[in-house]
Chains A and B, each alone.
Chain A
Amino acid sequence: MNRMDFIQAVVRIRVLEKRLLSELLFNRLIEAKDLEEVFRILNETDYAARLTAISRKEDYEHILSQELEKVYQEAREISPDPAVVDLLALKYDFHNLKVLLKEKFLNKDLSSLYLPIGSIDFSKIKKAYYMGNLRGFHLDYWEAISKAQEDFLQNKDPQRIDMILDRFYIEQLYQRARKTDSELFIDYVRTLIDFTNIRSLLRMQKMEKDLRFAEEVILPHGNIDEDLILNALHDSVEQLLEYFHNTNIHQTIVNGLKSYQETRRLTDFEKFMDDHLMEICRRAKYIHFGPEPIFAYVVAKETEIKNLRIIMVSKLNNISPEATRKRVRDIYV
């Protein structure tokens, strides 16, 4: 990937970045008294055109998913190398793969669950898949899907489908990030793996899973060694913290764990994860030649949409502004 190829793209992204919702605006949204007021405030932004397209305020999901779709379209158009956007779109591909398998085993039409964002067109692949034709698939996907399929027929455990596909997803993600040779991308992916692993660990502790189960869930390639996490399966959070204290593990993970220790809520830990990933993306602000700003912009947009969703759902369910504020993620700008 030649960094100089991205000059034009970065300029365009910088313009788009100006249109991201500001912190000030988010504060107003959080303080809004109901969903209608949220819509009124959004009318001052780029979302105005989308607001007119829906008739009921409960249809807010449409606005958000359309916006997400548009972001990916735009980013693909801007990026001279599709690999950059594919890094982030990969999760949608794997989501679609899961839907595909679910459709097959349940024998139901779940077309509405497919997301039109991934790097491949699933309506085409679906047909080929049903006819037993494997050519439509990327080779890596084929391996993933056939393995998940075999396993399900043998074990009849739908959770294992997710586990197998998630493992392939992370493997793919890591390989692709390495191929780009961008430090930021690799760091992003490895941090993502770390947080995911710790989150899985906390979850498994709650569910009292055994080591054999854990071995299939904990993912490779993180900054924290796999074995270290596996060994901690039966340790308390206090012991975990003490253990991490002696290694050079990032402070945010420690802080996230501490907040989990207090509240015992994984949602709090997840906010730490998103905020830290955003922190990594912010480095792209100082990169002017290279693919990073495109990547960061898409992440920023995804976060913006996630925040809007949090705020709208909060308003629909009469959750107080203070409680909402705790859940809203840090933004890029």
Chain B
Amino acid sequence: MYKIAVIGDKNSVLAFKALGIDVFTVTDELETRKTVNTLAKNGYGIIFITEQIARLIPDTISRYDEKVTPAIILIPSNQGTLNIGMERINKNVEKAVGTNIL
């Protein structure tokens, strides 16, 4: 069984604890990078990460794009969306189907 994790600032992600998802709070770039890498190594299948935090580490995120696990999913934080997550989905759909059907 793969585990699920969520990474972000405390106030955005703490509520995920109630769903039984492992919550990791980070504040800066280095910490985020480290957390993503350790989680990937430790058998997490899905990592949710807030867009605000993901913006800090685009290279780390794109590195995991090429791997099957973990799937890194961008979610909006409590401050609203930056549209990076949706853009990524659109791009992936385009890649898979050849045209943007969304």
Contact = CB atoms under 8 A, between A and B. Distances in A.
Interface residues of B, number: 6
A318 interface: yes
B79 A317 contact: yes
Contacts of B9: 316
A212 to B, nearest CB: 25
A313 B9 CA distance: 11
A309 B10 CA distance: 14
A58 B27 CA distance: 8
B78 A317 contact: yes
A206 interface: no
A326 interface: no
B11 interface: yes
Contacts of B27: 56, 58
A318 B11 contact: no
Contacts of A56: 27
A313 B11 contact: yes
Nearest to B9: A316
Interface in A304-333: 313, 316-318
A313 B27 CA distance: 14
B83 to A, nearest CB: 17
B47 to A, nearest CB: 21
Nearest to A316: B11
Nearest to B78: A317
Interface of B: 9-11, 27, 78-79
10 contacts: A56-B27, A58-B10, A58-B27, A313-B11, A316-B9, A316-B11, A317-B11, A317-B78, A317-B79, A318-B79
Closest 6 CB pairs of A and B: A58-B27, A317-B11, A318-B79, A317-B78, A317-B79, A313-B11
